[in-house]
Amino acid sequence: MSLLRDVVILRRFLAEDTVDVINVFSASAAVLVFLARISLFSRVHRRVPVVGSVMGLQSSATERALITHGRVWMTALGVRTLVVISPAIEAIVRRLPISRNRIRHVATVGIDMPEPGDPKRISALRRCLLGREADALVMTVGQLEPRKSHDLFVLAARSVVDVRPQTRFVVVGQGKQQMALVNQVADLGLQDHILFVGERTDVDDLLACADVYVKPGIVEGFIGITVLEAQAARVPVVAFDTRDVRMAITSGATGWIVSPGDTTALSVQILRLLQEPHSSSAIVESAYRQVVERFEINVAARALERLYLEMVSSRTLRD
């Protein structure tokens, strides 16, 4: 019933003929727009160009390929142009039964560059996160969902703490995996070393406190906004190797990449960065410059604006 209600509402909105372009970002949104448009009697209203943006792939590392492909195909339902934002997404999209001239690679991933934080506030926050015993912070930010693979972050923490017990690991975010992760931490005896701080609104300040940032996800489909945010905060970033994370990290040049799921290699790289912090300064600065040049929000907005204007122009010519 909710789908029918939403279709009726959207249909009325489209009938007012005030919409120039529609951009859908998920399979469910694409289906909703498709149903609303085909229910319109006026062919003019049906010609409103629809852009589909595939923003991710697997919902977990164990998701079946059929489910992933089906979700991507549904996102393409009824769209004139299908936007892909990463190599892994494009590889799947090009295997779908859709016309190749509908596929566009558009650089629409971007972040707001962080404003300088209050040094006193950040210093106090860092002391709070460290507690009495720790002197270094390793952080990850993201929803506690299966696709984020926080369990690998916890396993790497165990190896690091065995060598360097004065390290504190901070997990920012919340989600349905939280209890499982808390139990994993308890089973590994890491209660004093891993801190769950929940969902926060002060992520920029939290990142400014970190000595190392880790992206523990191993599924394809997205760079990871938090990778870019950490690089913008001038924090060294370590990630598991995926085709998409390579858009932001060239290992040894703008960050560090280790084999997917290899928590031993991840812990070794974390330890290197903690033990030799000054050795990473040039790489951290290179990553920061890359974010400014390629991933700053205005760069992404201009790319999307060009696409929308192209869609509006094509509709005008058709009308």
pLDDT for residue 170 = 98
Cα distances from 39 to residues 7, 45, 78, 317, in angstroms, run 9, 10, 13, 24
pLDDT for residue 94 = 86
Cα four-point dihedral sign 126, 183, 261, 272: positive
Residues 270, 126 share a domain: yes
Residues 313, 280 share a domain: no
Residues 260, 149 share a domain: yes
DSSP H or E stretch at residue 127: helix 119-130
Residues 123, 98 share a domain: no
Strands 103-105 and 194-198: unpaired
pTM of the shown model: 0.85
pLDDT for residue 193 = 97
Contact residues for 268 (Cβ-Cβ < 8 A; gap 6+): none
- Rounded to the nearest 5°, which phi and psi values hold at 194? -120, 125
Give yes or no for a contact between 307 and 51, defined as CB atoms under 8 angstroms apart: yes
Residues 158, 70 share a domain: no
pLDDT in tens, the chain (319 residues): 587 888 888 888 888 777 889 999 999 999 999 988 888 766 555 578 899 988 877 777 777 888 888 888 899 888 889 988 888 888 888 888 888 888 888 888 889 999 888 999 999 999 999 998 899 999 999 999 988 999 999 999 999 999 999 999 999 999 999 999 999 999 999 999 999 999 999 999 999 999 999 999 988 776 788 999 999 999 999 999 998 899 899 999 999 999 999 999 999 999 999 999 888 999 999 999 999 999 999 998 999 999 999 888 876 545 4
- Report the CATH number at residue 11: 3.40.50.2000
Distance CA 148, CA 172 (A): 12
Distance CA 166, CA 138 (A): 11
* Closest C-alpha to 68, from 107, 27, 105: 27
Residues 255, 198 share a domain: yes
Residues 104, 146 share a domain: no
Give yes or no for a contact between 138 and 168, defined as CB atoms under 8 angstroms apart: yes
Residues 280, 175 share a domain: yes
How many domains would you assign to the chain? 2
Contact residues for 158 (Cβ-Cβ < 8 A; gap 6+): 188, 190
Residues 200, 84 share a domain: no
Residue 50 structural domain: 2-110+298-318
pLDDT for residue 101 = 86
Distance CA 73, CA 60 (A): 18
The total number of residues shown for the chain amounts to 319
Residues 128, 83 share a domain: no
- Tell me the three state secondary structure of residue 269: helix
Residues 266, 159 share a domain: yes
Distance CA 33, CA 143 (A): 28
Residues 34, 82 share a domain: yes
pLDDT for residue 12 = 84
Per-residue model confidence as pLDDT tens digits over 249-305: 999 999 999 999 999 999 999 999 999 988 899 999 999 999 999 999 999 899 999
Distance CA 140, CA 171 (A): 5
